[in-house]
Structure formats: structure tokens, C-alpha cells
Amino acid sequence: MKKGYTFVKHYLPGFIYLFTVLFFISFSFLNAQERFRRFPPSPQSLVDLNLPEIRSHKLTNSLRLSVVQNTQSPDIHLQLIIFAGESHSPDDLPGLATFTAHMLSKGTSSFSSSEFENILASIGGRFEVSVFSEHTIISISFLEEFLYEGLDVLGKLVKNPSFSQREIAKLKTSLYYNMAGKRFDPDFVSRRLMLRILFQDHPHQKITFNEDGIKNIKHDNVRKYFRTFYRPNNSHLILIGGIDFQTASRVVSRHLNTWRKNNLKYSPISPPKPVKRLRICLVDMPQIDDTTIFIGNVITLNVPEDYFSYSVFNRVLGSTPNSRIFMNLRETKGYAYYAFSQLDLFNKFGIFFIRAKVRSDVALLSIEEVLREIDHVMKVKIPSQEIEQAKFYLLGNFPIKMAESRYFSKKISEIIAFDLGEAHWANYYENIMQIDSDKVFELIKDSSILTPTIVIVTNANLIAEENPFIDELVEKFGEVEVYNYKGLLQYTLR
Amino acid sequence: MFVTILNKNILVTITLLFFTFLPLHSGQIEDSPFPFTHFQLKNGLNVILAEDYSFPVVSVAVAYHVGSFHESEGKSGLAHLLETLMFQGSRNVGRMQHINFINRTGGRFDALTTVDKTIFHQTVPANQLELVLWLESDRMFSLRITREKVERAKQSLIDGIRFRKLDDPYMSSSLYFNQLLFGDYSYNHPVIGFETDLRSLSLQDVRSFYSNYYRPNNSVICIAGHIDKVRTRELVEKYFQSIPAGPKLEETTKTEFHDILEDIHFSEKSVPSSPRLYIGYRITSPYSDDYFPMDICSYILVKGTTSRLYKRLVIKERLATSLGGGIEIRKDRAVFKIFVGLNNEVNRARCQRAVFSEINKFISNLVSTKELAKAKMMLKSNYLSKFATVSGRAVFLANRFLERNHTEQVYSELNQFLSVTAHRIMIIANKYFSKHKVILDIEIR
């Protein structure tokens, strides 16, 4: 008994100590990890962005050519910018610019519409047209080994389109049904109505044409629009691919030098002014469950720096899932499926807008939250740290976008169509780096974005059952304009 | 009439016998598409590096050789569940932090689970490569799988299945079509899993699936873009070398993909509008000698607005509003599918006759040189566009490595397509389009 007691007295504390030490050693061994795993590594210094040079040349027929050598892409991308868009359609024929652009692929004196598709497929090609307010882009891309064939096709499209009555009739039907098919697309309807209101009484409003306009277009209208605007002295060809400048100039000249110019003269269109009063515009769409909201206004871009300040501001406010509006409406409040801000660039101005898809029962609360966020950012300077994070994001995101050919081509066409100058592209890092909190604040504190046009596309019946949404809108904003899906005003509630 | 058919069949048979003895490949041989190097770490992790200095961007794809194929019956949806859990936090990276880290750099990410692959992919500015390696190694090394996370992820996936059922009226019939076409359970059950299976998955199921399959020796990491190969190798070794290898996984041997014994024709009244017609054939295994001409066939028959079936069904006879299809690969099996969006129910039989009449014409006559050249250029353009960017390149390499278990043949793959001859197409088309098929009529309910 005494022996046992002695053992406990003398050895047990030692055992306990030893056991404890061993336990901690084995625990820390099992739990050990290399130190570098504990924290994220610091980034290396930013790698220089050396974008390819844009080299330009003018052909004898005044067609301007810009060549950007990009060896990464297996394709040649041709983008023919025609400096005329929907704003140049006659007032009684909105949609004519779009119609004419689509007619280009419907046959020439050398090949029919279906032969064109076969030729394009044989060179691994794709064809696309994009019509904007003040310009149109005809894009053809094809495998690099078919440079001659690709340019030959483009030359024939712009020199000798046939505009046959049969193809015009077919295109009228297909464009009509294509546009009519979007009448229940809340995003399409909202965006079109927002632009329609922002461009009221301005030539740009024609970009918001609806399917009815297509019906009235006639063969002569197409020919006249084409003969007036599709001229080398009103165009700029961009060639992107693994071709050097000399070769590109020579081959382009060979295929497009015989494209005849005309004596085109028209005065430039001045940018639209920002809308100065807040407007609420409602579209009742009985088929939908959720509510789509577009909140936007025209912004003026007085100096090149403004674009970069707005880009930084856009990142802070809403362009990504880490931005304020998304974090508020989706992550914190749970109102929205998505909520983003966006800056669309036009010639000498921009449209800044917020687009969100929200639960219908919180549509009004969502609008109030967005307006509160805008109000806050205009009154309280954005903290420097947040501005730096936004810049950090943009500096990283820009080369990623440029590495994709569609963004790369789009950026170059923007630079040329909007006459932004090569510094916009070549000095992107420097342009972003110079933006700070003060610059952003100075730019947006008097900006038009606090008096936006608010478009709400919702199922009014659904809302009415759950809360008096429309009454509250009228009470809060004084006036609600109700439109149909085509963007035509039906009545105003006061 | 009988004599005419007999004569035609004899003629086709003689033609086929004659061309069987011609060389399989001939034609233009092209250079390798882009350079890359491949090595393996001691723990079995395969690493592929492809330098490209066009832009200061780097793309990292970590691909695990696991997908729905590896799920046993009653455990469907496990791989897809793991894909979700890989963003829910690891030892040093909190829940959803992976996404936040990538977003803040201006980078992009995505993840994809297929029948036999799970790929995590991110593209970031070149100076952030180490961040991606840190993030990826942490979840490969020490994913934190808790009961709460599993239950939350299960619920989110179940919600997704319910949403898809409501949103996609073709879902259930497509599933049945695939079951008949692909045969065995391992190949034919949906990657998103079945709701009942997902509900019954236990914490232990998820943990053991992770510790078996999400290991370095069952994966490949592909890094493409603005990298220094020596430095990148050092970084990969730093972050991945000490991750222990998992259990040795048994190599799955190629299974026999038996012919369908007779035509299977069934219909389902499941859609409110837009009826469809699905047709499917079992074909050769991916990347076999027969596979390359079969892919060219897809460009001639169904791909694009200049394909034979599009011209006949949509443009000429206006029986259909849309057409799609081509080869679908699931691990070592491949099928040829044709999807037709019908104009209306009335013309269903006529449309089906038109499809088979085009197929008969196709297998009975040599494709013209012009048409074959066109199909090849369409294929070439699509093929090259897959790795035209560093982002596409990383994913392309990851896919090819897991599909083919090596990368050497990437160099010759395009040539195998481009060297297909018209005669070879005729032989192969006869071989597979003469077999029994699965036909599904999706009708208006």
C-alpha cells in the first residue's frame, strides 16, 4: 500500500507531465503546416502591358486602314467601320441602318446569300454586323491562310451588293420575328425604354426602333442608304491578325482600292444632354414573376480622363459582385438575383446605368436602396482604400479582357469609332493609376446620375396582390409613366 | 424497284470493299499547335506549362480525374457536390474567399464537372500566379468538410435540380434518351445527380470521396500564359510537392460498348410547345481511328447553316426551326446525336423521313472535295479557337491530358482530322449510321 502510494507520489506527476508534453508535441505535429500556407502570398510587381501598335494608312480612295498585329489569334479579324448608324436613318424609317447592314450578307452580283454562307464556311469564317447610333461595324473573321479570300469576299459585299427584292422580303420577315421574339424579354424591353427616354427628341432615339419600323422599309430605301453612307471615304477598316503592316496594306489595297468614294457631307451629331429630372417608367409584363429595373442617365465625358474616373467609380459602385450595390442588394438584403452598374461608351458621351433583377415584393425597396447608394457616393467621398482596390481590379482585369479576341477587337473599334486616340489604349495603366478619390468625387458630385430615368418592368397584377406598389411609387415620386412593351407611352399616373 | 435497290446496295458494298484497302490517312501534315512542357511531382501530380507572352496574363486549370462516372448507384451527385464544397473553405482559406481573392485581382474563375473530370479554372494577371497556386493547393491539401457545409451544399444543389426541372421541359426526356443511348449507369446518370440520392449522402460519403479522388496523383495542373518556366516549376513544387498522394486508384479499363440490338423508338408528351425529335447512334470510342472521320461527318450533316440537314429541314422544306447535334463524349464512349426543333407536330413523320433520307444519301455517295474541304475548315477554325487564348489553352491541355492520359498526341490531333479522306468518311459513315439507333419524339403535352 505504501509502495503504491510512493509510486503515485513520485512517478505519477512525471508521467502526467510526460504524457502532456507528448500529447502537445504529437498534436502540434499533426496540426503543423508550412508557414507559407497560412497567409496569401504577396503579389509580384505588375507585369508591363505592351499592347500591339495600331498602324494606320490611307488608301487612294480615302479608305482608312489600321493594322494591329496579333500573333496569338489563329484568325484574321476584319472590322469595317461605316461612320453611319441608326441616327442616320430617316426619321420615318427607324431601323433602316440595321436592315441595310444585315442585307450585306444576302447576296452580291458574284454570289447568292447561300453561296456566301458556303464561301464563309470554306474559309473557317464568321460574319457579324453590329449597328450603333453613329456607326456600323461589319465583321468578318476567317483562318489566317485565307487572307486573300476573306478580303475578296468583303470587297464584293461592299462594292456590289445585290439587294434583291426576294432577300429583302425574307429579311423583313426574319428581323420582324426576331425583334417580336424579344417583346417578353424584360432586359431587352427595359434597356430599350431607358434609351428611348434618355434620347428623347435626339437622333439617337432611332436606335430604339421596334419591329413595326421594319415593315415600312422598301428596296429603294436600302439602296439609297447604302449608296450614301457605305463609301470608302466614310469608312475605316481594321485588320487584326498575324499579318505585318506592309503585307496587310498591300493586300487590302488590292481588294478595296476600286471601291468608289462619293461626295458625302453631313454634319456631326452633338451628344444628347443628361436628363435633369427623375422619371419613373413602368412596363406591365404579365408573364413574369420577378422585377427588372434599369436606372440610368446620360453622362458627359469632357476630357479623356473622365472615362477612367467613371471606370473606377463604376467598379466601386456596382460593376462586380464585390461592388457596393451587389453587396447591398444581394448579399446583405437578399432583394436581388443580380444588381450591377455599367458604363456604355458612345461618341463623346456615355450612358451610366444600374440593372437589377429583384424580387417583386421588394421592388420599391430595391430602387430606394440603389438611389441611396448613389446619393451616398455623391455626398461622401469614396475612401482611398476602396479607390485603390477598384484600380487594382481594373489593372488586373484589363489585360485579361484584352487577351480575348472579342474584347480586343471591340476595344480597337471603340478607339477608332469614338476617336479616343491611341493613348487611351497604350497608356491604360497610367490612365488608371492617376485616378484618386478626389478626382472621382469632383467628377460625380455634380453628375447627372442622381436624376436618372428609372424603368421598371414588372407583373403589376402580381405586385398589386401583395402590396400597393404602384400607389407607393406615385406617392414617393409624384408621377409614374406607364408604357407598353414597345416603349410607347400609354398613360401617366399622378 | 427491287433490282434498283439491289444494284445500289451491291455498288455501295463493292465501293466500300475497295476503299477499305486504301491507306487510312493522307494529306497535309501541320506543325504542332503550341509548345508546352510536362513533368510529374513525386506525389504523382502532373504539371503542364505553356508559355505565351502576348499578354501579362496567366491561366491555371486544376483538373481532377473524377466525375459522375465514379459515383456508385445511389450516390449520384457526389462529384458535383464536391465541386461546390471546394469553394466552401479549406484550412487557410475561408468560405467563399477563393472567389473573393480571384475577383479582387480582376481575375475570372469557373468550375465544371463532367462524367469523368472536374476542372477548376482561373485566369488572373501574371503577377498573381502564386495566389492561385496557394488557393488551389490549400483546397487540394486540406478541404474543410463539415456537416453544416455538406447540408447547405446539398440543399443548394437540390434547389438547382428543382429549378431546372421547372425551367427545362426537355430535361426528363433527355435523361431517358441518354440512358438508352449510353447504356450503363456509370455513363448515363446525370452529373447533377438525383434528388433522392443527394438527400441520402452522408458526411462520410463526401469525405471519403474527397480523400480518394481529390489527390495530387489523380490530377493535373495546367498553367498557360506569361510565366517563367523555371520559377513556375519552383512555385508548383513549393505549394504542391508536400501534399500527400492519395490511395492508388485502379485504372478503369475500357468497357465494351455493345451495339443496340434493334431500333428503340419512344415518345413522350412533355413540352408545352416547340416539339422536338432526337436521334442517337452509338459510335466508336473517342480518339480512335474511326472517331476523326465521324467528327467530320458531324460538320457535313448537322453543324452550321450550311450543313446538309439544316439546308433540307430548315431552309428547303421548312419542317424545322432549329437543328443541332454532333458527337458527345462520355469518358471512353461516344455517341452521335441529332436534335431537330420541329415547326409543328403535323410534319413530324415527314421530318423524320427527311432526316433518314439525307443520311442514306450521305452513306451512299462520296462527299465532294469541296464539301469535305469546307467541313475541315469549319472544324479547324473551331479546333484552333479552343486554344487561341491562354485561358482556353490551360483548359484544353487539362482536358486532353485526362481524356488521353498523355499529351503527346495533341501535336498530331488536328492532322488526324485534316487528313480524313472522302472514301474514309464513306466507310465510317456506313459502319455507324447503318446501325440501330435510338429515336425520341418529344411531343406537345
Q: Are A37 and B93 in contact (CB under 8 A)?
A: no
B90, β-bridge pairs: B143
Q: Which pLDDT belongs to residue A317?
A: 96
Q: What average pLDDT does the segment A273-277 reach?
A: 93
The letter for the amino acid at A57 is H
CB contact under 8 A, A37 and B128: no
Q: Is the pLDDT of residue A464 over 50?
A: yes
- Interface size between A and B, measured as CB pairs under 8 A: 140
Which residues contact residue A145 at a Cβ distance below 8 angstroms, ignoring those fewer than 6 apart?
A: none
Residue A107 is given by DSSP the state B
Distance CA A275, CA A298 (A): 7
Q: Which pLDDT belongs to residue B11?
A: 46
Q: Give whole-number Cα distances, A467 to A214, A316, A364, A365, A464, in Å.
A: 40, 33, 10, 12, 5
Residue A164 is given by DSSP the state -
**B3: closest CA of chain A, how far (Å):** 37
Domain architecture of chain A: domains with CATH: 54-256 (3.30.830.10), 279-493 (3.30.830.10)
Q: Which pLDDT belongs to residue B1?
A: 37
CB contact under 8 A, B92 and A71: no
Q: Is A30 on the interface with B (CB under 8 A)?
A: no
Nearest residue to A287 via CA among A485, A19, A29: A485
Residues of B in contact with A38 (CB under 8 A): 92
Q: Are B124 and B107 in contact (CB under 8 A)?
A: yes
Q: Is A31 on the interface with B (CB under 8 A)?
A: no
Least confident of A179-183, B28-32, B372-376: B28-32
For residue A390, what is the nearest residue in chain B, using CA coordinates? B104
Q: Is the pLDDT of residue B55 over 50?
A: yes
| pLDDT tens readout for residues A194-239 | 999 999 999 999 999 988 888 899 999 999 999 999 999 999 999 9
Distance CA A463, CA A458 (A): 8
A23 — pLDDT class (breaks 50, 70, 90): low
User: B393 or B28: whose pLDDT is higher?
Assistant: B393
- Nearest beta carbon to residue B134 from set A40, A322, A404: A40
Interface test with A, best of B34, B55, B243, B384 (most A CBs within 10 A): B55
Q: What is the 3-state secondary structure (H, E, C) of chain B?
A: CHHHHHHHHHHHHHHHHHHHCCCCCCCCCCCCCCCCEEEECCCCCEEEEEECCCCCEEEEEEEECCCHHHCCCCCCCHHHHHHHHCCCCECCCCCCHHHHHHHHCCCEEEEEECCCCEEEEEEEEHHHHHHHHHHHHHHHHHECCCHHHHHHHHHHHHHHHHHHHHHCCCHHHHHHHHHHHHCCHHHHCCCCCCHHHHHHCCHHHHHHHHHHHCCHHHEEEEEEECCCHHHHHHHHHHHHCCCCCCCCCCCCCCCCCCCCCCCEEEEEEEECCCCEEEEEEECCCCCCCCHHHHHHHHHHHCCCCCCHHHHHHHHHCCCEEEEEEEEEEECCEEEEEEEEEECCCCCHHHHHHHHHHHHHHHHHCCCCHHHHHHHHHHHHHHHHHHCCCHHHHHHHHHHHHHHHCCCCCHHHHHHHHHCCCHHHHHHHHHHHHCCCEEEEEEEEC
B287 Cα distance to chain centroid:
12
Q: Is the pLDDT of residue A19 over 80?
A: no
Residues of A in contact with B377 (CB under 8 A): 121-124, 143
Q: What is the mean pLDDT of chain A?
A: 91
The percentage of chain A sitting over the pLDDT mark of 90, rounded to a whole number, equals: 73
Q: What average pLDDT does the segment A292-313 reach?
A: 94
The percentage of chain A sitting over the pLDDT mark of 70, rounded to a whole number, equals: 93
Q: Give whole-number Cα distances, A200 to A197, A414, A451, A454, B108, in Å.
A: 5, 24, 15, 15, 38
Least confident of A227-236, A247-256, B11-20, B156-165: B11-20
**B441: closest CA of chain A, how far (Å):** 25
Q: Which pLDDT belongs to residue B30?
A: 42
| pLDDT tens readout for residues A84-109 | 999 999 999 999 999 999 999 999 99
Distance CA B295, CA B332 (A): 15
Q: Is the pLDDT of residue A80 over 70?
A: yes
Judged by DSSP in three states, A466 sits in helix
Domain architecture of chain B: domains with CATH: 37-240 (3.30.830.10), 257-444 (3.30.830.10)
Judged by DSSP in three states, A423 sits in helix
Q: Which pLDDT belongs to residue B26?
A: 36
CB contact under 8 A, B52 and A33: no
Q: Which pLDDT belongs to residue A405?
A: 87
Q: Is the pLDDT of residue A450 over 90?
A: no
For residue A316, what is the nearest residue in chain B, using CA coordinates? B104
Which residues contact residue A40 at a Cβ distance below 8 angstroms, ignoring those fewer than 6 apart?
A: B101, B131, B134, B135
Q: What average pLDDT does the segment A464-485 reach?
A: 82
Residues of B in contact with A405 (CB under 8 A): 388-389
User: B148 or A472: whose pLDDT is higher?
Assistant: B148
| pLDDT tens readout for residues A410-430 | 999 999 999 998 888 889 999
Distance CA B378, CA B326 (A): 13
Distance CA A5, CA A48 (A): 77
> The whole model's pTM is what?
0.89
Q: What is the mean pLDDT of chain B?
A: 90
Q: What average pLDDT does the segment B378-402 reach?
A: 93
Interface test with B, best of A31, A33, A37, A49 (most B CBs within 10 A): A37
CB contact under 8 A, A322 and B104: yes
Burial call A448-482: b when 16+ CB within 10 Å, e when fewer: bbbebbbbbbbbbebbeeeeebbeebbeeeeebbb
The percentage of chain B sitting over the pLDDT mark of 90, rounded to a whole number, equals: 77
Residues of A in contact with B99 (CB under 8 A): 321
Q: Is the pLDDT of residue B411 over 90?
A: no
| pLDDT tens readout for residues B135-180 | 999 999 999 999 999 999 999 999 999 988 888 889 889 999 999 9
B307 — pLDDT class (breaks 50, 70, 90): very high
B25 — pLDDT class (breaks 50, 70, 90): very low
Residues of B in contact with A71 (CB under 8 A): 54
Q: Is the pLDDT of residue B32 over 60?
A: no
